[in-house]
């Protein structure tokens, strides 16, 4: 171990989540979304854990290459439209890619090498995807012996909040799938991600892209009413220094906190370079000896300070940033006005991940 700051990853919790997701998804194939280093958990780096997954989804070609380099042999799907510059590696590492850009497809054809693709359709996400009016032109372009269109997909933009809009997306997608089936033998048809799985049962689709649920965290406010989840990650550091200071003592950069009494201060060896937001300064909390303790002063690059007055805290004691019980990722996200996805995925690589 290189540091006393670690993210503890519970492998058993991960596999329990998979079992619960399978119960919900029925006979549909699961695409295990492991982009952004498996949402910050780094489970994608453990071939012994992922080797039997039939298909893994990632965001960029670089992530797919890293999976190949650790020995993952099954299908890897790149969700996002790649760049022309990615094509040599797509071919070299046998990567399946989502496509919707005509220029990219034309360049792919020029390589005269067999490549598996899923055609992405724009149904209302407003990001990437082929527009309905352009579908036939793209289909004609894909009529090439080296391009194997073995899937089609779209993204639901608000399946947890707008049923009318979502149902329209599903309707558009179904109509376009009917057209595509006249031209291609589609192995995979998919539009449901975590929230789609929880809120819709789209019978003409045969694959579900599961991301945040794999790691045991909510995809929306009512998630836990629909599935049992087991959070896999705990973020932990240790106290590296303790001092007692007098009243009217300033703490950290900018003197943003002044003590109003004799105060026992603990310095914790994790900071914003590790993913602890500076916006937690003077308002965040951590767990020491099973008690919540307030962050005081400005969060520094490599550390922050905590008021441990009245706590029997010692140098070397564990400090949990979140433990999924006393403090959860969702509570931190709410405090910061963001979502749990962002909190998890932005913990930096300076933090060692350990399987427990």
Q: Which of 73, 106, 253, 255 is catalytic?
A: 253
Residue ranges of alpha helices (H) inside 101-200 are 102-110, 135-141, 163-180, 194-199
- Expressed in angstroms, the distance from the first to the final Cα of the chain is 14
> Is 174 known to be catalytic?
no
Spatial distance between the Cα atoms of 5 and 319, rounded to a whole number of angstroms: 9
Element (H, E) at 78: strand 75-78
Note whether 211 and 40 are within 8 A (CB).
no
CA distances from 14 to 127, 214, 244, 283 (A): 30, 6, 42, 31
Note whether 189 and 149 are within 8 A (CB).
no
Note whether 192 and 199 are within 8 A (CB).
no
Q: Which of 28, 32, 35, 272 is catalytic?
A: 35
Tell me the sheet residues that pair with 268: 239, 304
In eight-state DSSP terms, residue 192 is: B
> Is 35 known to be catalytic?
yes
Q: Return all residues near 25 (Cβ < 8 A) that are at least 6 apart.
A: 197, 208, 210
Active site residues: 35, 253
């Amino acid at each position: 171990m290189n540091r006393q700051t670690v993210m503890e990853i519970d492998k058993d919790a991960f596999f329990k989540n998979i079992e619960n997701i399978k119960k919900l998804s029925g006979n549909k194939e699961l695409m295990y979304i492991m982009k952004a280093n498996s949402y910050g958990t780094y489970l994608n780096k453990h071939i012994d854990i992922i080797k039997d997954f039939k298909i893994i989804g990632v965001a960029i070609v670089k992530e797919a290459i890293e999976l190949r380099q650790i020995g993952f042999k099954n299908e890897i799907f790149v969700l996002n439209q790649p760049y022309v510059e990615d094509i040599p590696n797509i071919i070299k590492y046998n990567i399946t890619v989502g496509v919707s850009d005509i220029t990219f497809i034309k360049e792919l054809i020029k390589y005269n090498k067999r490549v598996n693709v899923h055609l992405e359709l724009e149904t209302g996400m407003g990001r990437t995807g082929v527009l309905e009016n352009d579908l036939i032109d793209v289909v004609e372009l894909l009529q090439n012996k080296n391009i194997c269109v073995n899937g089609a997909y779209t993204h639901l933009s608000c399946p947890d909040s707008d049923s009318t809009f979502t149902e329209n997306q599903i309707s558009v997608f179904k109509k376009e799938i009917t057209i595509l089936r006249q031209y291609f033998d589609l192995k995979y048809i998919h539009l449901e991600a975590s929230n789609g799985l929880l809120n819709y049962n789209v019978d003409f689709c045969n694959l579900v892209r599961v991301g945040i649920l794999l790691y045991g965290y909510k995809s929306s406010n009512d998630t836990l009413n629909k599935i049992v989840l087991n959070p896999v990650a705990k973020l932990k550091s240790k106290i590296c220094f303790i001092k007692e200071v007098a009243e009217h003592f300033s703490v950290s950069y900018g003197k943003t906190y002044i003590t109003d009494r004799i105060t026992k201060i603990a310095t914790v060896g994790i900071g914003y370079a590790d993913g602890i937001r500076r916006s937690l300064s003077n308002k965040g909390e951590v767990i020491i000896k099973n008690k919540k303790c307030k962050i005081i002063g400005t969060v520094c690059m490599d550390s922050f300070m905590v008021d441990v007055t009245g706590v029997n805290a010692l140098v070397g004691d564990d400090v949990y940033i979140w433990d999924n019980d006393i403090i959860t990722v969702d509570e931190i996200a709410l405090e910061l006005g963001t979502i749990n996805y962002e909190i998890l995925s932005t913990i930096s690589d300076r933090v060692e991940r350990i399987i427990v």
